[in-house]
Amino acid sequence: MEKHDGLMKPASAYITEYNIMTPLGFEVESNFNALLKGESGIKSHSFFGGRENFFASVIDDRLLNEKFEAGFGEKDFTRLEKMLLLALKPLMEKQQVSEDTLLILSTTKGNITALKDQKTPPESAYLAQLAQKIADFYGFRTKPIVVSNACVSGVLAVSVAKNLLKSGLAKDAFVIAGDEVSEFVISGFNSFQAMSGEPCRPYDANRTGISLGEAAAAVYITTDLSGKEEFKFEIAGDAAMNDANHISGPSRTGEGLFKSVQKAMAEAEVNPENLSFISAHGTATPYNDEMEAIAFSRMNLQEVPLNSMKGYYGHCLGASGLLETVISMECARQGILLPSKNFETSGISKDINIIRENTPAEITTILKTASGFGGCNAALVLKKGNL
């Protein structure tokens, strides 16, 4: 507990380690270098029974298997499990797992591919079993927690960790997130007619829908700083709201996102002028992008620099929020704002300050947002700490 104005308050929760693996690289440095060059992992693919091509950001199987065998040897794990274990590995090498260290898994579909051609679902298809397998591999003693709430899962998992730690139930937590491109996911978004016939263009007037992607991400969160951290980001505010608008369509007024951002900023005690930039959801669908613009306008955030990472990575479902949170923190560490890729002409009704080119900046406070099916919305405010 920390003392504040003579009263005791819960200790702050900090992110002090992170890692990602994506089609652009299997660690943060290679990803960030690719982003600085404007590279995208989105390419045309034609698998899943020879159906028509679709655009997605997909990890190369050969590279994934080589990396996994080099780190762990030949072991019986699914493709997604390999991604999660590799993303978590550098953090586990630096941090110790205590009796009450938490493991929180964010995913929407998990090992959905394990269900194909199976009459009885294998254990690995259950999210709880997937989380337990990762926990057992790395020696966690606590029961793992699964956060699976559509596309806000990655952001929400950080919120869950922060609130559990601030309540005193644990001093540290590892949050991992992962989803893969699968025939099930491709078919589902095709049924919505939401897939773009080109790499997606968030907020652009000529956007035609989403590009899907896959990734794994991991962060370490603690309330007990050692003083030897290379960096720290305080999770200063968080909130999640459901506007219950539609099973797949977002609120036309941005109500859930507006209230999520409002509450997260209030907890963090920041105003629009205090925010360095917004890492937005930005799926490149007509209704999502418009809803976000309305919500940000209602919060008077029109002037805050904003980007979407979907043009680089596609929509990685339950991994997207954590992946983009990590990229946001790395932007703050490197002192540069990354552009929203493929954006040219605004296609939304409200003005927002979309980043168009690599821009040096002092980044101290980040707003990360996410929205998803079922009307769910979530927001985080991160503050870069001084060491």
Q: What is the pLDDT along the chain (387 residues), one digit of tens a residue?
A: 554 444 445 789 999 999 999 999 999 999 999 999 999 999 999 877 555 688 999 999 999 999 999 999 988 899 999 999 999 999 999 999 999 999 999 999 999 998 888 888 888 899 999 999 999 999 999 999 999 999 999 999 999 999 999 999 999 999 999 999 998 888 888 887 888 999 999 999 999 999 999 999 999 999 999 999 999 999 999 999 998 877 767 778 889 999 999 999 999 999 999 999 999 999 999 999 999 999 999 999 999 999 999 999 999 999 999 999 999 999 999 999 999 999 999 999 999 999 999 999 999 999 999 999 888 999 999 999 986
Q: CA 239 to CA 352: how far, in whole Å? A: 22
Q: CA 286 to CA 89: how far, in whole Å? A: 38
Model confidence, pTM: 0.95
Task: Please report, for the chain, the start and end positions of each structural domain, with discontinuous segments joined by +.
Answer: 13-222, 234-384
* Topology alike, domains 13-222 and 234-384: yes
Q: State the pLDDT at residue 118.
A: 85
Q: CA 238 to CA 240: how far, in whole Å? A: 7
As given in the structure block, the two tokens for residue 329 are 């923190």
- 13-222 classified as CATH 3.40.47.10: yes
Q: What superfamily in CATH does domain 234-384 come from?
A: Thiolase/Chalcone synthase (3.40.47.10)
CA neighbor of 265 nearest in space, from 147, 366, 385, 133: 366
Read off the DSSP letter of residue 339.
P
Q: Are residues 235 and 382 in contact, defined by beta-carbon separation less than 8 angstroms? A: yes
Angle formed by the axes of helices 28-36 and 320-334, to 10°? 70
Instruction: Please give the single-letter amino acid code of residue 80.
Output: L
Q: State the pLDDT at residue 6.
A: 45
Helices (H), the chain: 28-36, 61-72, 79-94, 127-138, 153-166, 183-191, 255-268, 286-298, 310-313, 320-334
Read off the DSSP letter of residue 181.
-
Q: Are residues 140 and 220 in contact, defined by beta-carbon separation less than 8 angstroms? A: no
Q: Which residue has the tokens 């596609």?
A: 314
For residue 285, what are the CA distances in angstroms to 200, 347, 379? 9, 11, 20
Strand order in the sheet with 376-384: 145-147, 102-106, 172-179, 215-222, 14-21, 233-242, 376-384, 365-372, 277-279, 305-307, 353-354
Read off the DSSP letter of residue 142.
S
Which 3 state secondary structure label does DSSP give 294? helix
Q: Are residues 334 and 342 in contact, defined by beta-carbon separation less than 8 angstroms? A: no
As given in the structure block, the two tokens for residue 379 are 């927001």
Instruction: Please give the single-letter amino acid code of residue 185.
Output: V
